[in-house]
Amino acid sequence: MNEADLQQEAADPWRCLVAVPARLESSRLPNKVMAEIGGQPMLRRVLECCRQSRRAAAVVLCTDSDLLRQEAEGWGFPVLMTAASCSSGSDRLASVVDELTALAAAAVAGAEAAPPDPARTVIINVQGDQPFIDPAVIDAMAEAFAGTTPAPAVLTPVYRMGAEKVHNPNVVKTLLAADGRALYFSRSAIPHVRGVESADWSRHAPYWGHVGIYGYRADVLARWAHLPHSPLEHTEKLEQLRLIEAGIPVGTFPVDGDFLSVDTAEQLEQARAIALAQGG
């Protein structure tokens, strides 16, 4: 950042809050967020990992479940109640974006006198099914917002995918432009490598996996409910495609490692094995 940007940052700092949307009625794996992993409910593992972030001023659960509210409050996390009709995690957060923005402002030391500023507030959406989310990835996302001019609308981390995941429909892939923008998200392998056996595609093209967390400027998230109906979102069941179809750029940044979202019974057992190998 140049000197003017640094002066603006000092006078009007970015505020960052992690919001975890969660529900009990998962279609593929009911009650998965309360499934035990290494002696703890998965949702608690997610919230505790997020709390280790250095850049997040607060970690908030957003849910329509009174049971999840009671559990999270017992673990020491604030909760915002949302409607059961929310169609996705982003939809759930968008429904309480004003409250999230206010909480982010209130959580920043010395911010009591400053009104909430949605254009300088980052709401990081961490799904409740990522029991090993790395807090360093959350910090990297917050730093990318603060260090980029003009500020991104939406950011999401991606990782180089191993050959064993390329054709797994339970793992979301991201197709990237040369400048790092996300062109598309799919459960299918993209790009298609013509004239090559599918088992060898990873030798001919890079495949990027989607970590499954999103950073929104709060003013962009506030537009969510007003975006046009997205046939692609409906077809693939991937909420980020609503942004792509509406012409809102989704930036990406690469992170190292492998990442697990728990959507199936097989992935739940994989998470339990990882926790056991890590000693809980």
Structural domains present in the chain: 8-277 (3.90.550.10)
Residue whose tokens read 């996996």: 209
pLDDT at 218 over 70: yes
Q: How confident is the model at residue 13 (pLDDT cuts 50, 70, 90)?
A: confident
- When pLDDT is averaged across residues 56-68 and rounded to a whole number, the result is 96
pLDDT tens, 189-211?
A: 999 999 999 999 999 999 999 99
In contact, 260 and 271? CB cutoff 8 Å: yes
pLDDT on residue 1: 37
Backbone angles phi, psi at 58, to 5 degrees: -160, 160
pLDDT at 10 over 50: no
- When pLDDT is averaged across residues 220-240 and rounded to a whole number, the result is 94
- When pLDDT is averaged across residues 21-48 and rounded to a whole number, the result is 90
- pTM of the entire predicted model: 0.90
Q: How far apart are CA 32 and CA 264, in angstroms?
A: 9
- When pLDDT is averaged across residues 70-90 and rounded to a whole number, the result is 95
pLDDT on residue 6: 42
pLDDT at 280 over 80: no
In contact, 19 and 62? CB cutoff 8 Å: yes
pLDDT at 158 over 50: yes
For residue 215, count CB atoms less than 10 angstroms from its CB and return exposed for 0-12, middle for 13-18, buried for 19 or more. buried
pLDDT on residue 263: 86
Give percent of the chain with pLDDT exceeding 90. 78
Give percent of the chain with pLDDT exceeding 70. 93
pLDDT on residue 4: 44
- When pLDDT is averaged across residues 129-137 and rounded to a whole number, the result is 93
Range in 2-6, 49-53, 191-195 with the lowest mean pLDDT: 2-6
pLDDT tens, 117-126?
A: 899 999 999 9
Residue 236 vs residues 87, 172, 184: alpha-carbon distances, Å: 14, 10, 11
* Helix count and strand count (H, E) for the chain: 10, 12
Q: How confident is the model at residue 112 (pLDDT cuts 50, 70, 90)?
A: low
Q: How confident is the model at residue 7 (pLDDT cuts 50, 70, 90)?
A: very low
